[in-house]
Amino acid sequence: MITIEELHALYDREFAASWRRTFAEFAKASEDRIWLAGPSSYLFSLAGQKFAVDLQIRREKDLLAVADTLVADTAPLSFILITHPHGDHMCPPLMQALRDTDIRWYIPADCPKKMVDKGNLKPENIIRVRDGDVIREGDLSIRVFNSCHVRPGGKPYPQCGYAIQSPAGQIVMPVDVRDYSYRDYPALGDVDLCISHVWAGDDAINPENYLPMLEQFARFSAQFAAKKYFLCHLYEIGRPEKFMWTDKHASIAADNLQKLLSRCTVEAPQLWTEYEIF
């Protein structure tokens, strides 16, 4: 298993080249493709649209390393969906770097204004969204829903999930869920791909603590009854080892999920890699 030191060394060595290669592939991509631009940062080529979800660059040194090509790299993007304003999902310095582009930013209505203002975006490029809204972008219909980024009994934190419907199928992104008993999701119909973020509490090191939570994670994810699952938010470079989920945890979660949904396929996508969606 990769250590924190090895992960940082990998980013130091490969981030800039991998970022540029990924966006070069993205610019030329055919339909129904997805890339991980970060552990919880996604690029989509879908139904004639090129867009991102939670596009961010976690470390300042990495942002500086690609600053000279950033606008050109992201030129294919029409819009970006933001799920919530944590630093591993929303990146004000990146937003500032892209403020003079025509990219539309869909941001949860409950996201504090002071957080959005840090991005210094043009007001006309900011669209606030909330539970129940439907975003129309070309042939895409994107349903916004509340998703539970709060521990049981905790203070609500503003987060939107997205159900992305294209002519080829539906992608559901509940993103960072912390209360796996939460069931108040809209009826979404057939789900072709569910992108689930692995989280198993406050201890990624000791199995007696994380194994029960991975079972809960699997039961939660299974409620979407997807044909395919991507297990993501692994190797988050901004976290210490105690809170960092890895391929080891994803493998256990995948085994649990396939016991519940024997016909689904489960995969842990790798950074800076292209995948077919449907």
Q: What is the CA radius of gyration of the chain?
A: 18
Residues 146, 160: Cα–Cα separation, whole Å: 5
Mean local confidence (pLDDT), 147-170? 92
Split at pLDDT 50, 70, 90, the class of 240 is very high
Task: Please say if the pLDDT value at position 276 is more than 80.
Answer: yes
pLDDT above 70: percentage of residues in the chain: 100
Residues 172, 185: Cα–Cα separation, whole Å: 11
Task: Please say if the pLDDT value at position 172 is more than 80.
Answer: yes
Q: Residue 153: what pLDDT?
A: 83
pLDDT digits (tens, 9 = 90+) for 77-107: 999 999 999 999 999 999 999 999 999 999 9
Residues 94, 59: Cα–Cα separation, whole Å: 11
The number of residues making up the chain comes to 278
Which residue would you say has higher pLDDT here, 30 or 164?
A: 164
Task: Please say if the pLDDT value at position 152 is more than 90.
Answer: no
Residue type, 221: S
Which residue would you say has higher pLDDT here, 151 or 13?
A: 13
Q: Residue 158: what pLDDT?
A: 87
Residues 228, 95: Cα–Cα separation, whole Å: 31
- Reading the block at residue 12, the tokens are 């130091």
Q: Residue 30: what pLDDT?
A: 87
pLDDT digits (tens, 9 = 90+) for 198-235: 999 999 999 999 999 999 999 999 999 999 999 999 99
Q: Residue 14: what pLDDT?
A: 97
Residue type, 176: D
Task: Please say if the pLDDT value at position 62 is more than 80.
Answer: yes
Q: Residue 268: what pLDDT?
A: 98
Residue 82 in contact with residue 51, Cβ under 8 Å?
Answer: no
Count of Cβ atoms closer than 10 Å to residue 113 Cβ: 8
3 state SS of 36: strand
Residues 278, 276: Cα–Cα separation, whole Å: 6
8-state DSSP, 168: T
Residue with tokens 């129940």: 132
Mean local confidence (pLDDT), 152-181? 94
pLDDT above 90: percentage of residues in the chain: 94
Q: Residue 194: what pLDDT?
A: 98
8-state DSSP, 38: E
Average pLDDT value for the chain: 96
